[in-house]
């Protein structure tokens, strides 16, 4: 599904990603861990298509298609979704109206008709129940005055509504208390399927107790310095990141 | 003959149409002298640095409109807040239209200034209030005072509240190639009384219209007044709005100005706080394109302790539109514990649009909280990216963000139907095509 080959990227001449190689197949959950400043969020943003980051070398392929000149919205139409660490507040636009707009824009781009109102409402009801979201919440302005936990839950709600093929969760666990973390993780797990893939970007192993990854990669200084299975995350939790920093690339 | 000469020489003819023995006429006679001395303000004056009236002064405006054709309600319905029942004071080319209006004397007076200035029963009120808060040394206000004859007269006695909001509408039919209008409103809301007003000036053709309007509002103790100005006029229409508000203790007055177009708009909005625990709210949304120009000049004068003022003006400027925000706050030495907030945020969509934003704080008390901030910028890239990742194309995402930016100001609009209407106006101005039910 996603193939990243020797990816170098940066902003204003500062290279942040330093030769990333990663392959994600349908049905897989990958966790990317690493210390602050290792390039985790940059990697997420580059996959989602943020223009501030310039790709200087290498390639990102989605289902075999080079994403270089593909805009963020077109990537979304192709099934890429990114959950933001700091979601943006949009006063005057309710969660429901925002979702309607987003879904119908994607459908329009794919040459499909608008989703009928009753189907939309049914989906909104289903997915909000899945994430234990109150009906009143849906008529509030998007992210405006939301607590940190509400914002994150709303991100996963959007993911559930949009049903992406590839979801990237950027630090979704930060700012969540244990109950909120459980609800969010439960929501994500229900969205796992054999046709879609998830990349979880996190600093801590905590979230991975609830969403068990198939692969764990450790990012340091813009490179993946170690890859393994879920046990690698446990090791990192015990030992910290320092023991990996000096290890040669495997 | 330029406009000033024409106006001054027309004053004699104007005197033939009114009762010159009424005491109000002494006020008019004084005012025309002030205007004659001062003339139109020029750009050398600090307050008019960014707004030029030069072009308008060269236009040959008709000062006394002929009786206009009647308008059919169905043709102008869209300019009324027709979703809700209202009292209506409607003028066509400056002349009262009883056909389109709905006035009342049921416990409150919602009628005409021409009646108030001539009928003996109104004299006690007029004597106390007329031209007492409006500036006597301001040339354009004086010009309006000199020709004051017609406009809205609203008198809400103690503890009263009208059943419904009041709409003041001025239509210009285009019967004249260029028409100058000078409506004058006098609004008195006594102790514990309430009032909601919606004001709109609407030109119906591309012909030139210049409106120099003065409104005086008196809010008694504990009174509550909400005033909404909808400015979404044709490209030939210019408006100079001079609004003066006097507030007694514990009164709340809010003025919302929705400036969506017209050739030149100047809003002089002046609040004078004359009691403690007063709350003054000034909000504005400005969305302009082409060569439109809007200048917001606000003044809040804190003259007693323990009061508040809140100013929040947002502007979006496209094409070659120009905007001005000049916000003056004066806190007198006696006005301790004042809270004064002022915010002016602008987004420029085009490289050729300009905004001049200037806070002016004169604070003579030492125990006050005053804050002001102004920003002029482009849209937040991160926010744009967020919407794009949800599949919303860049152009639509930008429109959505601007919609959200402007919409923030609407929270304090207390007529839900008006709020909806303004929401839709903002969406259509910004070409936001959202599949949503506002």
Q: Which domains does chain A have, with CATH numbers?
A: 2-245 (3.40.50.300)
pLDDT at A241: 79
Instruction: Tell whether ipTM is more than 0.85.
Output: yes
Partner residue opposite B390 with nearest CB, options A49, A76, A109: A76
Which residue of chain A has the CA closest to B436?
Answer: A97
Alpha-carbon distances of B261 from B132, B182, B408, rounded to whole Å: 31, 20, 20
Q: How many CB atoms lie within 10 A of CB A195?
A: 10
Q: Where in B248-353 does DSSP place strands (E)? A: 252-261, 264-273, 279-288, 293-302, 308-317, 322-331, 339-348
A 150-169 → B contacts, CB under 8 A: 158, 162
Q: How many CB atoms lie within 10 A of CB B159?
A: 11
A91, A119, A158: best to mutate for the B interface, most B CBs within 10 A: A91
pLDDT at B33: 97
Contacts of A73 in chain B (CB under 8 A): 388-389, 391-394, 397
Residues of B with CB under 8 A from a CB of A: 380-383, 385-394, 396-397, 400-401, 403-404, 406-408, 410, 423, 434-437
Contacts of A82 in chain B (CB under 8 A): 389
A245's enclosing H/E stretch is helix A242-245
Which residue of chain B has the CA closest to A88?
Answer: B383
pLDDT at B438: 43
Q: Is residue A235 very low, low, confident or very high in pLDDT (cuts 50, 70, 90)?
A: confident
Q: Check CB contact under 8 Å for A97 and B437.
A: yes
A118-131 b/e (C-beta count within 10 Å ≥ 16 → b) = eebeebbeebbebb
Q: Check CB contact under 8 Å for A105 and B393.
A: yes
pLDDT at B68: 67
Q: Check CB contact under 8 Å for B408 and A92.
A: yes
Q: Check CB contact under 8 Å for A93 and B394.
A: no
B385, B389, B411: best to mutate for the A interface, most A CBs within 10 A: B389
Partner residue opposite B389 with nearest CB, options A52, A76, A90: A76
Mean pLDDT for chain A? 91
Q: Check CB contact under 8 Å for A114 and B393.
A: no
Q: How far is B396 from chain A (nearest CA, A)?
A: 10
Return d(Cα A110, Cα B378) in angstroms, integer.
31
- β-pairing, B87-92 with B184-189? unpaired
Contacts of B393 in chain A (CB under 8 A): 71, 73, 105, 109
Q: Give 10-residue mean pLDDT values along chain B (438 residues).
A: 93 93 94 97 96 96 82 93 95 95 97 96 96 97 97 98 97 94 98 98 96 98 98 96 98 98 96 98 96 97 98 96 97 98 94 95 96 90 93 90 87 92 87 60
pLDDT at A248: 55
Q: Check CB contact under 8 Å for B391 and A71.
A: no
pLDDT at A247: 58
The answer, for A92 touching chain B at a CB cutoff of 8 Å, is yes
Residue bearing the bigger pLDDT, A45 or A205: A45
Interval A114-164: pLDDT, tens: 999 999 999 999 999 988 888 889 989 899 999 888 899 999 999 999 999
Q: Check CB contact under 8 Å for B434 and A84.
A: no
Partner residue opposite A97 with nearest CB, options B386, B401, B434: B434
Contacts of B314 in chain A (CB under 8 A): none
Alpha-carbon distances of A136 from A94, A101, A125, B327, B435, rounded to whole Å: 10, 19, 12, 38, 20
Q: Check CB contact under 8 Å for A71 and B403.
A: no
How open is the CA angle B281-B285-B287, to the nearest 5 degrees?
165
Q: At what angle do helices A95-109 and A117-130 cross, to 10 degrees?
A: 120
A51, A62, A88, A98: best to mutate for the B interface, most B CBs within 10 A: A88
The answer to whether residues B56 and B210 touch, using CB atoms and an 8 Å cutoff, is: yes
Check whether A249 has a pLDDT greater than 60. no
Partner residue opposite B390 with nearest CB, options A49, A89, A158: A158
- Span A77-100, mean pLDDT? 91
Which residue of chain A has the CA closest to B398?
Answer: A90
Contacts of A71 in chain B (CB under 8 A): 388, 393-394
């Amino acid at each position: 599904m996603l193939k990243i080959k020797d990816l170098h990227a940066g902003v204003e001449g500062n290279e942040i990603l330093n030769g990333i190689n990663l392959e994600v197949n349908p049905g897989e959950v990958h966790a990317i861990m690493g210390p602050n400043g290792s390039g985790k969020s940059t990697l997420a943003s580059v996959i989602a298509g943020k223009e501030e980051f310039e790709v200087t070398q290498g390639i990102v392929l989605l289902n075999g298609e080079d994403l270089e000149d593909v805009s963020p919205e077109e990537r979304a139409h192709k099934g890429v979704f990114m959950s933001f660490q700091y979601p943006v507040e949009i006063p005057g636009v309710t969660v429901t109206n925002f979702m309607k707009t987003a879904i119908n824009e994607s459908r329009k781009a794919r040459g499909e008709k608008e989703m009928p109102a009753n189907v939309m409402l049914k989906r909104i009801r289903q997915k909000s129940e899945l994430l234990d979201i109150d009906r009143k919440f849906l008529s509030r302005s998007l992210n405006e005055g939301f607590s940190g936990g509400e914002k994150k839950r709303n991100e996963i709600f959007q993911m559930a509504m949009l049903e992406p093929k590839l979801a990237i969760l950027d630090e979704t666990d930060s700012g969540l208390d244990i109950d909120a973390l459980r609800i969010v993780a439960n929501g994500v797990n229900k969205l796992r399927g054999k046709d879609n893939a998830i990349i979880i970007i996190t600093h801590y192993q905590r979230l991975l107790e609830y969403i068990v990854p198939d692969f764990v990669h450790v990012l340091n200084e813009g490179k993946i310095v170690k890859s393994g299975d879920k046990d690698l995350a446990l090791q990192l939790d015990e030992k910290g990141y320092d023991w990996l920093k000096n290890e040669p690339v495997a | 003959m330029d406009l000033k000469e024409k106006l001054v020489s027309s004053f004699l003819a104007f005197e033939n149409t009114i009762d010159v023995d009424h005491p109000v006429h002494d006020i008019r006679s004084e005012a025309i002298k002030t205007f004659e001395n001062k003339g139109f303000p020029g750009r050398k004056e600090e307050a008019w640095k960014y707004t030029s009236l030069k072009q308008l002064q060269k236009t040959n405006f008709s000062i006394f409109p002929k009786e206009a054709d009647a308008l059919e309600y169905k043709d102008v319905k869209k300019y009324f807040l027709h979703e809700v029942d209202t009292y209506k004071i409607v003028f066509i080319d400056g002349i009262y239209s009883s056909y389109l209006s709905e006035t009342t004397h049921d416990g409150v007076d919602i009628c005409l200034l021409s009646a108030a200035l001539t009928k003996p029963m109104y004299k006690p009120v007029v004597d106390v209030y007329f031209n007492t808060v409006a500036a006597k040394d301001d040339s354009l206000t004086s010009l309006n005072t000199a020709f004051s004859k017609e406009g809205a007269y609203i008198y809400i006695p103690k503890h009263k509240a009208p059943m419904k909001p009041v709409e003041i509408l001025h239509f210009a039919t285009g019967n004249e190639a260029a028409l100058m209008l000078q409506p004058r409103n006098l609004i008195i809301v006594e102790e514990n009384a309430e009032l909601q007003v919606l004001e709109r000036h609407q030109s119906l053709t591309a012909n030139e219209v210049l409106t120099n309007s003065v409104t005086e509002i008196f809010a008694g103790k504990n009174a509550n007044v909400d005033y909404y100005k909808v400015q979404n006029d044709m490209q030939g229409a210019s408006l100079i709005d001079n609004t003066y508000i006097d507030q007694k203790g514990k009164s709340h007055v809010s003025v919302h100005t929705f400036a969506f177009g017209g050739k030149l708009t100047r809003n002089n909005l002046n609040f004078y706080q004359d009691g403690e625990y007063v709350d003054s709210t000034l909000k504005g949304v400005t969305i302009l394109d082409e060569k439109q120009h809007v200048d917001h000049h606000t003044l809040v004068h804190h003259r007693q302790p323990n009061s508040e003022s809140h100013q929040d003006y947002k502007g979006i400027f496209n094409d070659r539109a120009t905007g001005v925000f000049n916000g003056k706050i004066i806190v007198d030495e006696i006005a301790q514990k004042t809270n004064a907030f002022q915010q002016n945020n602008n987004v420029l969509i085009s490289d050729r649009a300009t905004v001049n934003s200037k806070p002016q704080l004169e604070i003579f008390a030492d125990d006050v909280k005053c804050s002001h901030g102004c920003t002029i910028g482009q849209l937040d890239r991160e926010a744009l990216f967020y919407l794009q990742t949800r599949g919303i194309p860049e152009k639509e995402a930008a429109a959505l963000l601007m919609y959200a930016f402007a919409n923030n100001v609407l929270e304090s609009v207390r007529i839900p139907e008006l709020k909806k209407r303004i929401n839709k106006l903002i969406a259509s101005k910004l070409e936001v095509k959202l599949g949503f039910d506002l």
